[in-house]
Amino acid sequence: MSGTEITLVDIASRVLPLLDLTSLNDADDADSTAVLCAKAVTPVGNVAAVCLWPSFIPQAKQALSGSGVKVATVVNFPGGSLPADKVVDQIARALADGADEIDVVMPYAAVMAGMGGDQRAQDHLAACREACGPVTMKVILESGALAKPALIERAAQVAVAAGADFLKTSTGKVPAGATPGAARIMLTACREAGRPVGFKASGGIRDVETAAQYLALADEICGPGWASPATFRFGASGLLDALLGVLGQGPAVTVTAGY
């Protein structure tokens, strides 16, 4: 795709249906959840999912009924430090309330510690996988905390071995969110998984140009037809406003793909 002229409108149109519109703020309440769900359904298409605290699942399910927008929630969030049985309970409650997707923070500190930590993390995630059943399980590696490429690669391999449906970069609760370097490692793990495994870029993605960089990586590593809502997501909040701004403009701004 290098050198191919595309527009920001083209990019925004591609990104919008891949968005997990997210709100995981301490001040979230019923009113903010209503606003989030209303924003998920736009005149130019709907987002893939909303991602919110477990307590707001029933409200979101009702608000988004019939829209095709999935309801995702988080467990073992944000530190990844709860014991597996507690996380399994969180998953069971979320599914009982109607969650369509579960974003689980892996016990990444175990991977960082070494000395059998990979196996402990894999066993933990395998229990989560069993609790999720057929429901999509996105595993948050917290790549900004792992930081080192070798640790990110190991964490990705652990998550894939435990049955992850998606590898997700970040919680958004540590200083370093998604980076192209971490994305490249994780997308390579998706490609080499031997089964369908998707990728979710989350943490600090706020504009269309940045989103385009991650799509270009996915096209390069996994193939130009690979990224779809079933395999690729952006976890963000402000990105939607940027997308709608581009899609609501008059003359399109031209950029070069793959920059």
Residues with Cβ < 8 Å from 39, sequence gap 6 or more?
21, 240
Radius of gyration of the chain (CA): 18
Per-residue pLDDT at 254: 45
Q: Structural domains in the chain?
A: 5-256 (3.20.20.70)
Catalytic hit among 20, 103, 138, 165: 103
pTM: 0.93
- Told to judge if 39 belongs to the known catalytic residues of this protein, a careful annotator would answer no
Cα separation of 149 and 241, whole Å? 32
- Told to judge if 100 belongs to the known catalytic residues of this protein, a careful annotator would answer no
Q: Encode the chain (259 residues) as per-residue pLDDT tens digits.
A: 444 567 999 999 999 999 999 999 999 999 999 999 999 999 999 999 999 999 999 999 999 999 999 999 999 999 999 999 999 999 999 999 999 999 999 999 999 998 899 999 999 999 999 999 999 999 999 999 999 999 999 999 999 999 999 999 999 999 999 999 999 999 999 999 999 999 999 999 999 999 999 999 999 999 999 999 999 999 999 999 999 999 985 334 444 444 3
CA 135 to each of CA 128, 157, 191, 257: distance values in angstroms, whole numbers, following the listed order? 11, 20, 21, 34
Note the Cα 91 to chain centre separation in Å. Answer: 17
Per-residue pLDDT at 259: 30
Using left for φ > 0, alpha for ψ between -120 and 50, and beta otherwise, residue 65 falls in beta
Burial of 188 (0-12, 13-18, 19+ CB in 10 A): middle
Catalytic hit among 20, 138, 165, 168: 168
Per-residue pLDDT at 4: 54
Cα separation of 123 and 117, whole Å? 10
Catalytic hit among 70, 100, 138, 200: 200
Per-residue pLDDT at 5: 67
- Told to judge if 138 belongs to the known catalytic residues of this protein, a careful annotator would answer no
SS3 for the chain, per residue?
CCCCEEEHHHHHHHHHHHEEEEECCCCCCHHHHHHHHHHHEECCEECCEEEECHHHHHHHHHHCCCCCCEEEEEECCCCCCCCHHHHHHHHHHHHHCCCCEEEEECCHHHHHHCCCHHHHHHHHHHHHHHHHCCCEEEEECCHHHHCCHHHHHHHHHHHHHHCCCEEECCCCCCCCCCCHHHHHHHHHHHHCCCCCCEEEEECCCCCHHHHHHHHHHHHHHHCCCCCCCCCEEEEECCHHHHHHHHHCCCCCCEEECCC
Cα separation of 196 and 163, whole Å? 10
Per-residue pLDDT at 115: 86
